[in-house]
Amino acid sequence: MGNHVPWKTKDWFVSPWNYFEEVRKGFNPPQRVRIHDVTLRDGEQQAGVIFTKDDKIRIAEKLSEVGIHRIEAGMPAVSQRDEEAIREIVKRDLNPEIFCFCRCMVADVQLAADCGVDGIVIEIPSSAHLIEQGYKWPLEKAVALSIKATSFAKEKGLYTVFFTIDATRSDIDWLLNLVEKVATEGHMDAFTLVDTFGVISPQAATYFANRVRERITKPVEVHFHSDFGLGVANTINAVLAGAEVIHSTVLGIGERCGNTPLEETVLALLTMYGIDVGIDYGKINELSQLVRELSGTQVPSCRPFIGDGAYTIESGIVTGWFRNAYEEHPTTLYPVHPQFVGRERPEIVMGKKSGLDNVWVWAERLGIELNEDQALEILQEVKLRSHDLKRVLDEDEFREIAEKVKAQN
pLDDT tens sequence across 179-229 = 888 889 999 999 999 999 999 999 999 999 999 999 989 999 999 999 999
256 and 148 co-located in one domain: yes
209 and 126 co-located in one domain: yes
Residue closest to 202 by CA, chosen among 226, 229, 176, 233 = 233
Distance between CA atoms of residues 200 and 172, nearest Å: 13
111 and 202 co-located in one domain: yes
Distance between CA atoms of residues 23 and 346, nearest Å: 33
| Entry pTM | 0.93
Task: Give me the amino acid identity at 228.
Answer: F
- Give the angle subtended at the CA of 278 by the CAs of 224 and 158, to the nearest 5°: 60
Radius of gyration of the chain (CA): 25
**Cα 224 vs. chain centroid, distance in angstroms?**
11
48 and 96 co-located in one domain: yes
* Secondary structure of 334-350 as H, E, C letters: CCECHHHHCCCCCEECE
Identify whether 353 is part of a domain. Answer: yes
Identify whether 302 is part of a domain. Answer: no
Q: How confident is the model at residue 2 (pLDDT cuts 50, 70, 90)?
A: very low
Number of domains into which the chain is organized: 2
- Tens digits of residue pLDDT in 284-312: 999 999 999 999 999 999 999 999 999 99
- Tens digits of residue pLDDT in 235-291: 999 999 999 999 999 999 999 999 999 999 999 999 999 999 999 999 999 999 999
Identify whether 3 is part of a domain. Answer: no
Distance between CA atoms of residues 109 and 103, nearest Å: 8
Q: Give the domain CATH number at 246.
A: 3.20.20.70
Residue 371 is part of which domain span?
312-408
Q: How confident is the model at residue 134 (pLDDT cuts 50, 70, 90)?
A: low
244 and 126 co-located in one domain: yes
Identify whether 344 is part of a domain. Answer: yes
Helix H or strand E encompassing 52:
none
Residue closest to 249 by CA, chosen among 259, 264, 237, 235 = 259
267 and 350 co-located in one domain: no
Integer angstrom CA distances of residue 143 from 109, 131, 167, 180, 402: 17, 11, 14, 11, 74
269 and 147 co-located in one domain: yes
Q: What is the reported pLDDT for 177? A: 87
Handedness of CA 341, 342, 344, 350 (dihedral sign): negative
266 and 124 co-located in one domain: yes
Task: Give me the amino acid identity at 242.
Answer: G
The 10 Å CB-count burial string (b at 16+, else e) for 290-299 is bbbebbebeb
Q: Residue 26: CB partners within 8 Å, gap ≥ 6?
A: none
282 and 356 co-located in one domain: no
134 and 161 co-located in one domain: yes
For the segment 114-121, the average pLDDT, to the nearest whole number, is 97
Helix H or strand E encompassing 171:
none
Identify whether 10 is part of a domain. Answer: no
Integer angstrom CA distances of residue 280 from 117, 146, 271, 324, 365: 24, 37, 14, 30, 33
**Cα 132 vs. chain centroid, distance in angstroms?**
33
Identify whether 30 is part of a domain. Answer: yes
Integer angstrom CA distances of residue 95 from 63, 98, 112, 149, 342: 9, 9, 19, 28, 22
290 and 360 co-located in one domain: no
Distance between CA atoms of residues 85 and 87, nearest Å: 5
Contact between 267 and 281 under an 8 Å Cβ cutoff? The reply is: yes
Report the chain's mean pLDDT, rounded to a whole number. 94
Identify whether 2 is part of a domain. Answer: no
Residue 350, beta-bridge partner list: 393
Which of 295, 325, 346 is the endpoint of a domain?
A: 295
